[in-house]
Amino acid sequence: MLFVFDWDGTLIDSTDKIAGSMQKAIADLGLPERSIEETKSIIGLGLPESVRTLFPGLDEAMIPEVTASYSRHFIAADQNPCDFFPNVDEVLKQLRAEGHLLAVATGKSRRGLNRVLGNMSLTEFFDGSRCADETASKPNPLMLNELLAELKVDVDSAVMVGDTDFDLGMAANAGMKSIGVSYGAHPVERLLPHKPDRIIDRFEQLLDWH
């Protein structure tokens, strides 16, 4: 089985840091304020798509300024790295020991994902990964289709695990099974319309599913 994981809000407890960094970027550029809830709601999208969602109609020339400011604030905040959610490390290692393939599909940039994987000594841990700045942003299924092709796995032998409706929507668009986690950026009510195979409240419950 191929397990494809979202990163922020699914494996890593980073949603508050992401939302706070976006709020600081918004303030830097004098844009209208957005609440923590609003900035959490766009977690999972690529950065440009996040800005467009928060500010429909914003001049396209402003988007790189917002994303650059966000990146500066997030990198500064991430000098104190975020932790895995409880039991994530142990469960991932058990899945690998059982012979499953593991991959990441994230709204982070490639530079951002590589930085955090390096900081956590996980550069070689996952069998594949896709980032929003090198393919289509969620919920477009391209990330998943590319991972399936790269790892030579049939869609029926794969599952997407994520905390946002963008993750589960991407899985639905790819015809892939999905598992939602209840502890991330989006409430369960936003996950259910995508008909996930299961909602888990603790990461170790993933071991009961497979």
Domain at 55, CATH number:
1.10.150
At 24, list the tokens.
């600081």
Range of the structural domain that residue 185 is part of: 2-13+84-209
Q: Of the candidates 130, 125, 131, which has an alpha carbon nearest to the alpha carbon of residue 100?
A: 125
Query: What does the alpha-carbon distance between residue 91 and residue 124 come to, in Å, rounded to a whole number?
Result: 17
Going residue by residue through the chain, which has 210 residues, state the pLDDT in tens, using 9 for 90 and above.
999 999 999 999 999 999 999 999 999 999 999 999 999 999 999 999 999 999 999 999 999 999 999 999 999 998 888 889 999 999 999 999 999 999 999 999 999 999 999 988 998 999 999 999 999 999 999 999 999 999 999 999 999 999 999 999 999 999 999 999 999 999 999 999 999 999 999 999 999 876
Query: What does the alpha-carbon distance between residue 147 and residue 149 come to, in Å, rounded to a whole number?
Result: 5
Q: With contact defined as beta carbons under 8 Å apart, do 112 and 90 qualify?
A: no
Supply the Cα-derived Rg of the chain in whole angstroms. Answer: 16
Domain boundary among the residues 44, 77, 110 is at 77
Do residue 162 and residue 112 come from a single domain?
yes
Query: pTM here?
Result: 0.94
At 200, list the tokens.
């888990």
Do residue 102 and residue 182 come from a single domain?
yes
Q: Of the candidates 167, 192, 120, which has an alpha carbon nearest to the alpha carbon of residue 3?
A: 167
